Structure 1
Amino acid sequence: MSLTTDEGSAVSTSRNAQMATTANIHAPLGAVTVLHVVDAIISAKTAVVSWNENRKTRKILAKLTDEQLDDIGLSRGDIANI
């Protein structure tokens, strides 16, 4: 569509620039899928690291005597909740 007035030409150019800008905002579908996969992997890694740290802590606490646990304000039953 061609407009002969300067004002119409400016509106047309502005509209085309706006359409080009909004068309480039959205990521391609493949990129979104990759992002979800990467997020899932990072989440799984974080969960495994947290579980392993808690497992190590429980193992160390289980080796302590009842007197030592009492000194730090814990009992044998508390170890399982860590």
Structure 2
Amino acid sequence: MKFTTDNGSAVSESGNAQMAQTATKHAPLGAATILHVVNAFTTTFDEVIEWNKNRKTRKVLSGLTDAQLEDIGLERAEIAKI
């Protein structure tokens, strides 16, 4: 007769603990590849969104005068770093 302990290992009447066997299931063929492709597209899309936001910010800041840039604590040379 076998009993199961709290941690899932089997113990026989003689007290010998046996290693619990777990089933290993694999994802369907190609599922991991599809996940990686989707992740790559999502990451690229997010990077393009961030780049476009920064491009718009640089464009607006470039249209300001040096006095206006000084008011917000920037110098013209710092615009390119955004």
Q: CA RMSD in A?
A: 1.8
CA distance in 2, matches of 1:75, 1:33: 46
After TM superposition, the score normalised by the length of structure 1 is 0.71
Per-residue deviation, 1:53: 0.2
Runs of 4+ in 1 over 2 A off after TM superposition: none
| Superposition deviation, residue 28 in structure 1 | 2.0
Percentage of matched positions with identical amino acids: 57
Offset from partner CA, 1:23-74 (integer Å, 9 cap, x none): x2x2123100100000000000001000000000000000000000000000
Per the normalisation by structure 2, the TM-score is: 0.71
Aligned length: 65
Q: Distance in 2 between matches of 1:63 and 1:29?
A: 53
Aligned twin of 1:70: 70
Aligned residue in 2 for 1:38: 38
Q: Structure 2: any 5+ residue segments left out of the alignment?
A: 3-9, 11-20
Matches within 5 A, 1:1-82: 7=1, 18=21, 21-22=23-24, 24=25, 26-82=26-82
**Structure 1: 5+ residue runs without aligned partners?**
1-6, 12-17
**Aligned-partner Cα distance in 2 for 1:65–1:46:** 31
Hey, what's the Cα distance between the residues in 2 that align with 1:59 and 1:72? 16
**Greater strand share, structure number:** 2
